[in-house]
């Protein structure tokens, strides 16, 4: 593990990113993309543009858009899957820890970082002695829930809003870019806390809501469509720090309103989405650990 952690994954990912931007000759595009499609089981019939010659470089192919009807958004459930992927874990947050895969946990506070001001997120004024988990819960009788979705290299790489909510704050953690493959996640403790990630926090009708996009090897690029100031895997940011940005200002007291299913951002290659949110005790997930899920399908409801 120590040897793997010493690999310069950020530098390698930046190099890979530049390679991805190199325009391929038209004659080479079909063989290169066809190999990728065969290796990772990509379904090009869902792509908005099926013609492989259309994609000038690997980056464009990774970030391909889908046909509008390919992912209908479930209207019956309050929380939908923000992306395609595999469900690694879900359930109530217990003892201020979240499971990245079964049996391997990480600290909620290390993952999200210190609490953000009460003015921005309407946090309850919890007594200082309360745990970090209890401080996030704003309404009496509510619980904190989590859901971890792993995006494989062959998946659709855009992610969307999982519910109707407003985004108040963005926290960017520069970090390592180790693989988030479930096999690797089993043997690196607190992997998600080491890796580069973008934490979006805000609130929905039941209280606190957050969506975190976790970077991985060759996925230094995390893009949030409404956040032009975000630059991930940049040499100017050092590991171990974080930088905050507030979407609440004197002119915009509501932050960024997001509708369920609305485009939110994208990865280059595969990675992981982690949802951590507050909901009443009768919230139920409609999932099984290990199942494949697609953007727009139900995650859970009241």
Active site residues: 84, 160, 271
Which residue pairs from 256-260 have beta carbons closer than 8 angstroms and sit at least 24 positions apart in sequence? 256/166, 256/167, 256/168, 256/202, 256/226, 257/164, 257/165, 257/166, 258/161, 258/164, 258/165, 258/166, 258/167, 259/161, 259/164, 260/73, 260/80, 260/161, 260/162, 260/163, 260/164
134, containing H or E segment: helix 132-136
- State phi, psi for 268 to the nearest 5 degrees: -100, 120
Closest CA to 143 of 270, 287, 282: 282
Residue 229's contacts (CB-CB under 8 Å, 6 or more residues apart) are 245
């Amino acid at each position: 593990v120590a040897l793997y952690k010493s690999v310069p994954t950020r530098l390698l990912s930046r190099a890979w990113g530049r390679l991805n931007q190199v325009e391929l000759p038209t004659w080479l595009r079909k063989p290169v993309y066809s190999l990728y499609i065969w290796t990772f089981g990509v379904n090009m019939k869902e792509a908005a543009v099926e013609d492989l010659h259309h994609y000038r470089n690997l980056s464009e192919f990774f970030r391909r858009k889908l046909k509008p009807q390919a992912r209908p958004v479930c209207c019956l459930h309050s929380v939908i899957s923000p992306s395609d992927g595999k469900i690694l874990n879900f359930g109530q947050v217990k003892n201020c820890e979240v499971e990245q895969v079964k049996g391997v946990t990480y600290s909620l506070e290390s993952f999200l970082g210190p609490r953000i001001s009460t003015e921005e997120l309407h946090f309850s004024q919890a007594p200082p002695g309360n745990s970090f988990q209890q401080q996030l819960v704003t309404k009496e009788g509510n619980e904190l829930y989590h859901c971890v979705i792993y995006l494989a290299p062959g998946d659709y790489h855009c992610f969307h809003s999982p519910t109707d909510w407003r985004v108040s704050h963005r926290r960017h953690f520069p970090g390592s870019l180790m693989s988030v493959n479930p096999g690797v996640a089993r043997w690196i403790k607190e992997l998600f806390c080491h890796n580069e990630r973008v934490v979006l926090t805000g609130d929905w009708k039941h209280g606190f809501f957050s969506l975190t996009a976790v970077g991985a090897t060759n996925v230094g690029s995390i893009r949030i469509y409404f956040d032009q100031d975000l630059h991930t895997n940049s040499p100017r940011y050092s590991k171990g720090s974080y930088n905050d940005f507030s979407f609440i200002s004197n002119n915009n007291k509501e932050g960024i309103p997001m509708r369920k299913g609305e485009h939110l951002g994208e990865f280059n290659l595969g990675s992981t989405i982690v949802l951590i949110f507050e909901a009443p005790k009768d919230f139920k997930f409609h999932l099984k650990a290990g199942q494949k899920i697609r953007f727009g399908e139900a995650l859970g409801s009241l």
